[in-house]
Amino acid sequence: MVDVGARYKTKLGKNTLTVSSSVENLFNKNYWQVQRGQFDRSFAVVGMPRTYWLKAELDF
């Protein structure tokens, strides 16, 4: 599975603005996510499809 992301940081007056974005599961691969537990309580779930996110942070 391939994840990619980018971040841009700039000054806004005396403050810092950071904008981040990411794509998780870039090629939209199907997969199983396995969780191993104690006492034979392991299980598997279908993995997440391609997911996008965008975030903006302002430090002041």
pLDDT at 25: 98
Model's pTM, two decimal places? 0.73
Q: What is the pLDDT of residues 2-25, one digit of tens each?
A: 999 999 999 999 999 999 999 999
Note down the domain range covering 34. Answer: 4-59
**Is 43 buried (19+), middle (13-18) or exposed (0-12) by CB count in 10 A?**
exposed
For the chain, how many structural domains are there in total? 1
Nearest to 7 by CA among 48, 51, 57, 50: 57
Q: Do residues 25 and 1 lie in contact, with contact meaning Cβ atoms separated by under 8 Å? A: yes
> Taking the chain, what is the end-to-end CA distance rounded to the nearest angstrom?
36
Round to whole Å and give the CA distance between 41 and 19: 41
